[in-house]
Structures are given as structure tokens and as C-alpha cells.
Structure 1
Amino acid sequence: MSLYGRIYGGKVFEFAEVDGDISTMYHPSFVWVCLDGVEPAPSVGWGAVEVDGHWLFSPSGSPVISPEQQAELVAAERFTREATGVTVNGLAIETTRDSQALIASTGLAAIYDPDYRCNFKTATGFVEIGAEQIAAIAKAVRAHVQACFDRELVLLRAIETGEFTDEMLLEGWPNSAPPESAELQ
């Protein structure tokens, strides 16, 4: 015997326990899903959505989120975390996309001219820094941004394997503490 749930209007409507092919026992317009091995077992009224041939269930009142929607949430969280900034030798450095681009171009100038100096705007105001300091800032920003993308990849893999939980979305992201190698000289 297998337990089946009939899906109607995006919800679990009723159950049937049968031997054999349930699709031959009811009108073909009925959508029956085998619930054998589904944990937690859904109840009548639970939401149901089919994604790539697999059914996802959620308690009544909770949204059913597809893996694609979970991936979008993860990407949005990564984008937010990416822009949280870093601290390098006491300097608060912005890590927005615009700041990343400016820091990269400043870093390139420092590579071409080891004597390069500039007035650099931090989150708290201007400081004059040299090529070595610029390189340390660029390294710290790049490490922070890469750590955000690395965390996103871990979460996407968890979504793919069905191991993702809502709590994971807020855990494991890099903080704004500088890597030890990012100290200004």
C-alpha cells in the first residue's frame, strides 16, 4: 500500500491509500502525488508545488519556496553582505559595487607607480595613503567580496542537495574584520 495526496489549487486536498497505479483509479484530471517517504508528511491544507518533477510541501500559511526562489534569496543576501564594508588598520572601507571599482582602479595605479599617493575617502572621511596601503585595502576588499561569493556557492549547493534551511541564509557570512595580511604598513 502507498499513501497518495491529491493536490488541488496548490494545496494538499485529500489522501488515499491504495495498492496499484492510482492514476487508473481516478479521473485523469486529478493530481495524485505519492507521499511514501516524504518527511515531514504533509497534512490536508498544506501548500504544494511541483519543481522539476519533485513536489515541495509546506505547512498551511507558510509559503512554498522553489529552489530557484531560494537561490534568488541567497543571491540577494550575498549582495547585501558584499556591501557591508571592511576595516583595514582602523579605516572603515566601503565595499559597495561602486567602491569596489574605485578601489580596483586605485590599486592598479599603485601597481604601476609604487610612489603613488592619493587622498582616499573612507566611510569616515579622507586619509592620505600610499601604494602599499592601497594594495592592503584592495586585498582586504577582494578577500571580503570573494568570501561572500564563496558562502553563496555553499548555500546554492545546499539548495541543490535539499539540505538548505532558512537559518542557513543568515549564518556563515564574512564579518567586516580585516584579514591579518591586510594590515596597512
Structure 2
Amino acid sequence: MYARKLNGAWEEWDGKPLPFFASDPTQKFHVPQEWSEEEKMVRFGLHRVIETPLPVGKLSLSHTLVDDGGKPRKIDVFEETEAALLAWAAAKRWQVETGGLIVAGSAIDTGRESQSMITGAYSYSQANPTELIRFKAASGWVTLDAPTVAAIATAVGAHVQACFAVEEALATAIGAGTVTTIAEIDAANWPG
């Protein structure tokens, strides 16, 4: 199984041609013969999913993909136990937290690396309020003033905090026995 990272979250690859090939099927692309299959997949943003063998006699009810040091790891849910539900809630929070948000009509990447870059830009803009900040967004280069950087940083911070607040509320509800299914976790009031 392979996955690719889209909007900060791992998503299973369905095996369909990637947009690069689908846009022009006649286009030739040279792939060096010495590349392994794994190298070819990684070059196109696909990573082999780290899987743990299923325990004997267990049937996976569902799974999610989480980030494990920059690689996708499959987390299987066998039974909706408290521990499994807590793990699912944490994985769902990470997925929503790093899945991006819209600020003033612009898509903002909220992956961990982007959060760090936004924090750095905010710190710089506070120390140098008259400086314009050059930033490479998903859509290309942008020039931001200090108030705009502050608005983006505040929105991202509020988004992240809202995600953790939902996970905390779910953890409490799971512990109390009032949330007992993965479906309830997925249907929680996640931001976005």
C-alpha cells in the first residue's frame, strides 16, 4: 500500500495515474534505469505505508494513516476499546490540525513545518514591524505586512488549539463512556 501527503495529511493512493501523467498521456518522462521501484514512487510523492501485521485472530474494523517521522503508518482498529478510541481521536486531531484552513479566502497549510514557519514569520514581524515579509505560499510568492502575518498566525494558532480542545473533550467523553465508536469521533465538532 502506498500513500501520498495531501494538505498535510496522509491519504491512501488509489493506484490511479497521478495528475502529472493524466494531463498529457503522450508526454515522455525519463526514469533512470538504476532507480528502484521505491525510488520511483518516492519521486512522485508516494511512500510505502508502514504496516504492522494483524494479530492472529483479529480482523481490522478500520484504519487511519498517521505520520511516523515523515512516513505514513497504518493504525488498525480491531475493537473499539478505550485505548483504540483514544488513538483514533489523536490521529483524527492530527489529520484535521495539519489539514489546512482558509484565512481571508487564502488556503493556509497547517502542517507542522508550516506552523513553524508561520511562527518564525510572526516573531520576525513583531521584532521588525515596518518590514514586509516575503513568504512562499502554496499559490506562489506573497508579500505580507506585520498585521497580515499576525492575522494568519492567530488563525493558525486558534485552529490548532480548537483541534486539541476537540480531542481533549473526546478523551473525556471516551473515559466517561459517552463516546464509544469511531463514527462518533469522526462526527465530532472538528474545526474546518
TM-score interval, normalised by the smaller of the two chains: 0.5 to 0.7
**AA partner of residue 82 (structure 2):** P
User: Where does the alignment leave 5 or more consecutive residues of structure 2 unmatched?
Assistant: 1-76
**What is the distance in 2 between the residues matched to 1:81 and 1:119?**
27
1:170 matches 2:180: no
Taking the TM superposition and a 5 Å limit, the aligned residue runs for 1:22-171 are: 63-164=78-179, 165-171=181-187
Partner-residue secondary structure (3-state), 1:163:
coil
**What is the distance in 2 between the residues matched to 1:69 and 1:112?**
45
Name the % identity: 37
User: Where does the alignment leave 5 or more consecutive residues of structure 1 unmatched?
Assistant: 1-61, 176-185
Residue in 1 that maps onto 2:11: none
**What is the distance in 2 between the residues matched to 1:79 and 1:97?**
10
Indicate conservation of the 8 Å contact 1:155/1:168, yes or no: no
1:123 deviates by: 2.2
**What is the distance in 2 between the residues matched to 1:121 and 1:93?**
11
User: What TM-score, normalized to structure 1?
Assistant: 0.58
**What is the distance in 2 between the residues matched to 1:161 and 1:68?**
13
Indicate conservation of the 8 Å contact 1:91/1:122, yes or no: no
**AA partner of residue 190 (structure 2):** W
1:65 deviates by: 2.7
Indicate conservation of the 8 Å contact 1:74/1:169, yes or no: yes
Size of the aligned set, in residue pairs, is: 114
- Point out the structure with max Rg over C-alpha: 1
